[in-house]
Copies of this chain bind each other. A is one copy, B any other.
Amino acid sequence: MKYMKKSFDGLLPYHSKLITDGIILNANESPILPPSKVIEEAKKEILNIEFNRYPDMDEEILDKAIAKKFGIKRENVTVGVGSDELLDVLFRAVLEKDDIVLGFMPSFSMYQVFSKLQNAKYIPVLGNEFNIFNVDDMISKIKEYNPKLVLICSPNNPTGQYFTKDEVIKIIESTNAMIALDLAYIDFAKEDYTTIALNYDNVISFRTFSKAMALPSIRVGYAISKKENIDMLDAIKAPYSVTTISQIIATIAINNFDLYKGQIKMIINERERLYKELINLKINAYKSEANFIYCIMDDKLNDALLKNKIYIRKFKSNIYRITVGSSYENDKLIEVLKNETK
């Protein structure tokens, strides 16, 4: 690509055909729609939109709804096009060329893309032979590399490992580096500690409506931090990035968070059931506190799933991530795997 700057060599367009037919367990989406009250209110509100006006660039109503849910101030919240946009904005805000970013590996793959876009260096912190991460390893890497930015994804995508509040605090208190606490899947885990970001100068929590809130279609994420860090994100973030309709639907969803509790519980129960079934089938499945299960399994099992139009995420040969589906979808998946491992 003649006009692309040299330092971006290796960045390529990524295309992936939308799958609409079959059992889709490859994107950590919710198997069920948001609660019907959310959908009904959203459809009613959409009828009254002034389509010919820009969205509220300050996202006032949505910011306030998020702040209310966490019992914090509006000045500690900002929203973006998924947590992706806000993470990218953070990378842009703090990283100069050749700065060091530390994160677990494997973790959310976009961290490496965002690093590359800043010409920063992503240094991976590896797990043990079972891909289990140890926070003390992270802390010693922090001392060794003096990073500008540290990423903690909890529960970690794609391995599912959850870091306790105490573990996270231990990392935070070991450094003055900026810590991005990516809590995309925290609603499926033991404890939601989003607001610990407000106890420190160097922590931003990132959340999304795409997972437990079952709304990836609307592309809304948010960040929670001290005002100075929120101001920093707002200074870099594009104005008007979140559409009017997305702001409205996200507001309705978070105002009705209690209605989600049942479906979150259902997904957690299905996750535990699916995990046991996979283990029974002698598949090397990882214990997870998210809505997916990381597996090391034979590629021929995936071939059998594909033949049955069941789509899971393949990272490389024998390395997979299965999103927890509905009980029907999980049954189908298990049935195919059972037949294949007989």
Contacts and interface: CB of A to CB of B under 8 A. Distances in A.
Identical copies in the complex:
2
A13 B235 contact: yes
A241 B217 contact: no
A245 B218 contact: yes
A175 to B, nearest CB: 12
A314 B53 CA distance: 19
A289 interface: no
Interface stretch (A80-88, A136-144, A153-161, A278-286): A80-88
A217 B229 contact: no
29 contacts: A1-B235, A4-B232, A7-B96, A8-B93, A8-B235, A11-B236, A13-B232, A14-B57, A14-B235, A16-B58, A17-B58, A18-B56, A33-B51, A49-B217, A50-B217, A51-B217, A51-B249, A52-B214, A52-B215, A52-B216, A54-B217, A82-B240, A84-B239, A85-B241, A92-B117, A117-B236, A219-B241, A243-B243, A243-B246
Band of interface residues on A: 35 or more
Contacts of A230: 13
A231 interface: yes
Given A46-B43, A229-B3, A217 B236 contact: no
Majority SS at the chain A contact face: loop
Report, nearest first, the 10 A-B pairs whose CB atoms are least far apart.
A13-B234, A217-B244, A18-B56, A54-B216, A52-B214, A11-B235, A30-B52, A1-B232, A13-B231, A13-B235
A25 interface: no
A39 interface: yes
A169 interface: no
A329 interface: no
A127 interface: no
B5 A93 contact: yes
Given A3-B232, A29-B52, 20 more contacts: A1-B232, A3-B93, A3-B94, A4-B94, A5-B95, A12-B235, A13-B230, A14-B57, A14-B234, A15-B58, A17-B58, A17-B60, A18-B57, A32-B52, A42-B51, A51-B217, A51-B218, A52-B214, A88-B238, A216-B240
Given A17-B58, A57-B18, A58-B18, A81 B3 contact: no
Interface string A24-66: 1001011111100001001100110111111111101000000
A293 interface: no
A330 interface: no
Contacts of A231: 1, 12-13
A81 B18 contact: no
